[in-house]
Chains A and B, each alone.
Chain A
């Protein structure tokens, strides 16, 4: 790693002031450090060399608590993945999030990694992570994965970059209709996750719309109708500690034996967590059956455009969707 300075501001305002949002000529000058599990790997690989790390992990104004209100759950940006995995309210109200957190990374990393940082982590594409390859996402002209070794890459072609978003919790939060509260020099704003994540464009080569002078304060999960069930399933190359080849998060609310509401999100298939709205439409109002579930799975992947080496993800993701929906709509669902 290159040398860096270390600051530990006392307030969010002070932290934001140290960010270099307005100094476009020196975009690498400073970076926020929360859990550091992604930032440090980027720095060690020489992909990023901030001169100043702004430690926000002990910032009193930033929350590391989970709160439940009538509106839903508020998760402070500094809540760690281990907290999400172990919290009884997360486990009972939004199990998809607890499951996604538990399936992510290693115990050591989960003790360190915060949910805010998890949403902001950069892709694990091997071209992006390889120093010396100036890929499009790093400001280059082309995406080498498009014609290259793309077995781990995106099925949905929505950006010049075909890396996939690596976060498991993000996929779960998308299915849970969560939103993100941001604060910056210009004040506070709240964005639905679906708007917070946006495929990288020529003008904005990153996976979110967060401003250079903003940080995440908290994540809100709206209270779902009582009895809403959710789950997160993940397929990996190895049994544990691998990024998702495909992940599926689903939240289902049953009204009698019909599906009153369904939200379905896929991970590992696009540069951002991917919502499968057409599949949700197939499900909404329907009586669950193997045929309906299979139709929903087909629909979720209908617009997939596989690259040369990642076609296997289509049946894999479909199988995961079927498994998740079958589980959530089973009459004997645990807790139903």
Chain B
């Protein structure tokens, strides 16, 4: 048998039961990705005889004799990019890039007619979670959005990502895009019960499976409590988790890990493990869990962090300012309602995975997909009792995160197995594990009570939040604090009261996800503000404008204590005006004809701290290289958020050069300084600040040395693209470096930045929608978003961040829904049943940036990683009420969940 791949012939034979995707990867074609392994996402798309197919659903044998083309074979033999690859580069039609190879393979197979025609239909087999599809659409249509870089002027320009050429050619390396001699594979057996005690585990049959090396149970792992949650400050999460436990707290919890020569053998090993459970009563609803007599998820023997174990309360928060009773007494109008938000999954296309091995020096190495290699390292050191010097954790390119990878979910077990077996060990989550056993957005029930005088002045805000943290408390406390801060701090009001609870239940754990708890409560507050405006017969913009915080105002929520948060720049008014004007202008898109469509519009505001209240720091190391370029070493991981591009832009601008001349070494505990992690919107606010400080300092050092070296006045020295110019003399930087080293000077230094004080970012979203009066189908006619990110470092990338967040917001608000049955099982753990938006689903959003300059952030910039998702769901809810006259309090607004009241109110007209 022979296989023809990208013009080369291979005589290797596939293994029994192997699909084409894994076979191609074994042959070294790592451009073929796994997003779902089920024909849903398209990341594995290749051509068979020129026709795109999902390689995950083709037995490898079947491709025998056919011409197989992967992304690596798309470019010409001389390395010339295929036009579609060039277009994806020119429009930066990617963020993390994990879907890109498949997306390009599909796009490159389309005719001009297909592209001009029904592109949505042709693209329906390829999902992207990062971009919101606008940049992909631009790429396919040949629109160029990447801008030319000029020396010293990189900031403010739409410079392309440094990894772009690797991403579009399939050469970018993600976590598992590597081979290692002697690799073993790990799989876990997961719990079938929501709450149980393990009575016994018999692993003998599993150990007898050919190829199985080891089977680990709770008796084989360090008996140390920890949390999977990644924070530098370990005191903000409960230590309530064991690597493997003898108590089961949710369906899907890891029970036994099996390590074998192949994934198939490890899976077979899992099937052969016999576990005897004593099933315990379980509780799924947080209100029930707080009642006396409810099953207890974590008993009093656990971490003292847990406030009231017997009532399943992980943490409760009570605070406020003034006196709400006085406030409500002074109100002319009071509105009160409860708003429910559901679970949502990150659905990054690269699932969790890691490879661990012990090197010849006895050090543990971990290659992982993480938003924080440093904190991951610290956790592994703690779990295995290792010194920091004995562990290296690093990330190559990461395929999307959105908070899901602010968690240690695989590294502990691969490390254990690597230490134990002495072999490299790999573990890759299936998509099903991603849905049923990683983390989700905390479901929250938020009751909001607002009081206002007739003129719209708020007199009291009261909020009660019940957050379902699931079986474990990772991120349960911090998301709750975040939920209680900006949501209420956004509005000026003398009287505020907040009571909030994070509650354990026997459901899969909630965790960090874009918005981090605030998305849920802002949804509630912004819906309530809209309903209050209706009750007052006021324009919803006017009511908000009357009450929002203004520059100089303290942003108060839980109390009057001093805060490190300030309004470093204020673009909220401008954002509101932009959205208001755009909606008033309209965009010419009307509801479909026929009189069956109800139309309406809605808006919402959002405010988001530019960094977390917990510790956040980053170190940038910068040096001149022998060839006169610069090397920037920074701990921040790149998972499509674009921080690497910003870092090189900031360094280049400051050092008078172009971004191409700044080479990045990143996210490796051996090679860079400490970085808390790429989360909490800190890539710009903290890490970029470190880069900026380092670049400023290095520029001064270069100029100082050049002045003394050339004996030219310091004020006559300046940097150009590749040299220092001192009066009439031009010294290439490489030469200057040599001179410096000869004379014992270092053209290298590092600077650190710290995430305090913190600024705030603002966003406003507006929708005009049509709702079918019979079926409840929603069509978005116009979508408008305005963002205040301070100085825009890269307008193209910032637009991409906003578009991606808006698309995730639309998916969460309209149809993504994790269904958990009465036994606690996730019943829809696949993309076929948990729908994330496709290209066809996402309207083109009009995007505006406020023209502000932040006084705290680097070069006046502040982060925009999360905040744009926050106003999306409430703006849709408000538009839905405007269209139908009905307030829907609970997300999502899927036709099957909302049609009935709409039909009862409007359906009888002609039906």
Please give the residue numbers on chain A whose beta carbons come within 8 Å of chain B beta carbons, in ascending order. 1-6, 33, 36-37, 40-41, 44-45, 53, 55, 57, 102, 105-109, 111-112, 124, 126-127, 129-130, 132-133, 144, 148-149, 151, 235, 237-243, 245, 290, 294, 309-313, 315-316, 318-319
Contact = CB atoms under 8 A, between A and B. Distances in A.
Interface string B812-852: 00010001011001011110110101111100000000000
A312 B895 contact: yes
B895 A316 contact: yes
B61 interface: yes
A6 to B, nearest CB: 5
A55 B66 CA distance: 15
A124 B838 CA distance: 20
B356 interface: no
B835 A37 contact: no
A32 to B, nearest CB: 13
B900 interface: yes
A321 to B, nearest CB: 12
Nearest to A144: B821
Given A36-B62, A130-B825, A2 B264 contact: yes
B838 A148 contact: no
B38 A124 contact: no
Contacts of A309: 896
A108 B53 contact: yes
A107 B124 contact: yes
Contacts of A130: 825, 827, 829
A106 B39 contact: yes
Nearest to B829: A130
Q: Which of B42, B54, B122, B267 has the most CB of A within 10 A?
A: B54
Contact of A148 (B106, B124, B827, B839): B827
Contact of A102 (B45, B121, B125, B895): B121
Given A44-B37, A108-B42, A241 B124 contact: yes
A239 B51 contact: no
A109 B48 CA distance: 12
Nearest to A294: B911
Contacts of A319: 772, 774-775, 911
A240 B827 contact: no
Given A2-B17, A130-B825, A151-B896, A241 B125 contact: yes
A107 B51 CA distance: 10
A8 B267 CA distance: 28
A55 B827 contact: no
Given A1-B17, A240-B841, A245 B819 contact: no
Interface string B565-603: 000000000000000000000000000000000000000
13 contacts: A2-B17, A33-B62, A40-B19, A41-B57, A53-B59, A109-B53, A111-B51, A111-B52, A129-B833, A239-B120, A239-B841, A240-B839, A315-B899
B292 interface: no
Given A37-B57, A241-B124, A245-B896, A108 B907 contact: no
Contacts of B52: 107-108, 111
Given A36-B62, A237-B895, A241-B124, A112 B57 contact: yes
Residue of A2, A105, A126, A290 contacting most chain B CB atoms (<10 Å): A126
B16 interface: yes
Contact of A126 (B16, B38, B51, B833): B833
A36 B268 contact: no
Contacts of B18: 1
Contacts of B62: 33, 36, 55, 57
A316 B596 CA distance: 13
A310 B59 CA distance: 37
Contacts of A111: 51-53
A108 B106 contact: yes
B899 A240 contact: no
Contact of A112 (B15, B19, B58, B841): B58
B38 A44 contact: yes
Nearest to A315: B774
Contacts of A6: 16, 59, 61
Interface string B149-175: 000000000000000000000000000
A23 to B, nearest CB: 21
Interface residues of B, number: 65
B776 A312 contact: yes
Given A149-B827, A243-B832, A315-B774, 6 more contacts: A1-B19, A124-B832, A129-B830, A237-B835, A239-B120, A245-B896
Given A1-B264, A237-B815, A237-B835, A107 B903 contact: no
Contacts of B268: 2
B125 A108 contact: yes
A132 B52 CA distance: 33
Nearest to A40: B57
Given A44-B38, A106-B39, A240-B840, A318 B911 contact: yes
Interface string B772-792: 101111000000000000000
A33 B60 CA distance: 13
Contact of B827 (A53, A127, A294, A315): A127
A284 B37 CA distance: 47
Contacts of B363: none
A25 to B, nearest CB: 21
A290 B911 CA distance: 10
A44 B38 CA distance: 8
B214 to A, nearest CB: 21
A4 B120 CA distance: 37
Contacts of B772: 319
B613 interface: no
A33 B45 CA distance: 20
B907 A315 contact: yes
Contacts of A316: 774-775, 895, 899
A57 B62 CA distance: 9
Contacts of A148: 821-822, 827
B554 interface: no
B192 interface: yes
Given A106-B125, A126-B827, A238 B815 contact: yes
Nearest to B109: A107
Contacts of B15: 3
Contacts of B51: 111
Interface in B608-656: none
A41 B59 CA distance: 11
A36 B59 contact: yes
Given A36-B58, A36-B62, A112 B53 contact: yes
Contacts of B59: 6, 33, 36, 40, 53, 55
Contact of B896 (A109, A243, A310): A310
A240 B842 CA distance: 11
List 3 A-B pairs, minimum CB-CB distance, nearest first: A106-B125, A3-B16, A240-B124
B4 interface: no
A126 B828 contact: yes
B634 to A, nearest CB: 38
A85 to B, nearest CB: 10
A57 B49 CA distance: 15
Interface in B57-93: 57-59, 61-62
A284 B828 CA distance: 42
A158 B819 CA distance: 25
Contacts of B264: 1-3
Contacts of A311: 900
B775 A235 contact: yes
B16 A5 contact: yes
A42 to B, nearest CB: 10
A110 to B, nearest CB: 9
Contact of A240 (B39, B838, B907): B838
A107 B896 contact: no
B189 to A, nearest CB: 11
A4 B60 CA distance: 12
Contact of A312 (B45, B192, B896): B896
A154 to B, nearest CB: 14
B121 to A, nearest CB: 6
